[in-house]
Amino acid sequence: MSLTRDDVLTVLKTVTDPVTETDIMAAGLVKALTVSDTQDVRFVIEVPPSQAQLYADVQTAAEAAVKAMAGVGTVSVVLTAHSTPAAPPDLKPQKSAPTGPQKIPGIDRIVAIASGKGGVGKSTVAANIACALAAEGRRVGLLDADVYGPSQPRMLGVSGRPASPDGKTILPMRNFGVTMMSIGLMTNDDQAVVWRGPMLMGALQQMMNQVQWGALDVLIVDLPPGTGDVQMTLAQKAQVDGAIVVSTPQDVALMDARKGIDMFNQLGTPILGMIENMSTHICSKCGHEEHVFGHGGVASEAAKLNVPLLAEIPLHLDIRMAADGGAPIVVSKPDSPQAEAFRAVARALIADGKA
């Protein structure tokens, strides 16, 4: 009696496929099976390339099963591992993945502190608001993105180089309940930072995405003064919930603040409000009040631009000394009227759901 193809197929159904745990016929592994006039049997076992090593025994078992059949001639079994051909590329226009501002995982909100002009006290405001928010029980991060004059390490009394145990992520520093990272911790104290746009953007993105911020209610970003690459990159890459613009009441500072507000409007970043810093000076000896940089300029500008005036912070020696001494006034003299001005801003931000 001569051997038929169906006889061989029936025998192959007794060989188990180790991956699907059915038989190799049901799994569709047997291909190109032929039985010649001289009863020689040939077939191919085609297996997935990633699991080829699992099938060496299957080849042996299949060959042995067929060889045991009565009347069979030679048996040739070839094991191949073909990958399924890739589908041809879809040339239809695709909807690309969104590349706009993204949320940073773990960070609920981002608030930028900006100024048009340098030296108006933006970093002082950022440090005090961050510490005041932490004192109110919020989980706060402070990213010092003032790449040209990073002053947060000094203001928050933080020094040393941040650790990077895995060489990929950076562990932030922490003081006064604030988790902080500054480009100033990556450069030498007296080293001027001379960076071009793409480097600035890279550094900012690294500080946003590679620092292990943990879970934060709000990340305060201390921006460099002006309207440059860092501001653009922040607004384009991260979902910024709002910006606070700090200015002194002087005309020159106000003019630059106006440009800053215009930039945020163009970038679609909501303006949470303006802060007038160095608003009035009260002499610590005689109590005489004088307006060193004028007074009320920011209030009228805010009214003109239809943005809230969040605070008028006095020019006071204690604020400067606290900032230079590494413990912002809301930490070193929390009950002073100067600290209260910052604490009121923090409470208002929390009440508005902004921090």
Residue ranges of the annotated binding site for ATP are: 116-123
For ligand ATP, the binding residues in 214-253 under the rule CB under 6 A are 225
Q: Which of 4, 291, 340, 328 is nearest to 153 (CA)?
A: 328
Is position 154 an interface residue for ligand ATP (rule: CB under 6 A)? no
Q: Which amino acid is at 158?
A: V
Crossing angle between the packed helical segments 297-305 and 251-267, to the nearest 10 degrees: 30
| Binds ligand ATP (CB under 6 A): choice among 128, 175, 250, 277 | 277
Please give the Cα distance from 37 to 35 (Å, whole number).
Answer: 7
Please give the Cα distance from 63 to 43 (Å, whole number).
Answer: 10
CB contact at 8 A, 125 and 314? no
Is position 343 an interface residue for ligand ATP (rule: CB under 6 A)? no
CB contact at 8 A, 280 and 233? no
Is position 121 an interface residue for ligand ATP (rule: CB under 6 A)? yes
| Binds ligand ATP (CB under 6 A): choice among 315, 331, 345, 346 | 315
Site string for ligand ATP, 65-104 (x = CB under 6 A): ----------------------------------------
The token duo for 123 is: 């970093």
Cβ distance to ligand ATP smaller for residue 124 or 269: 124
Is position 149 an interface residue for ligand ATP (rule: CB under 6 A)? yes
Nearest 5°: the CA angle 291, 304, 271 is 95
Residue whose entry in the numeric block shows the structure tokens 């604020």: 319
Cβ distance to ligand ATP smaller for residue 269 or 279: 279
Is position 313 an interface residue for ligand ATP (rule: CB under 6 A)? yes
Is position 146 an interface residue for ligand ATP (rule: CB under 6 A)? yes
Q: 219 by DSSP, 3-state: which?
A: strand
Is position 122 an interface residue for ligand ATP (rule: CB under 6 A)? yes
CB contact at 8 A, 69 and 7? yes
Cβ distance to ligand ATP smaller for residue 141 or 224: 224
**Residues at the interface with ligand ATP (CB under 6 A):** 115, 118-124, 146, 149, 151, 225, 277-278, 313, 315-316, 319-320, 323-324
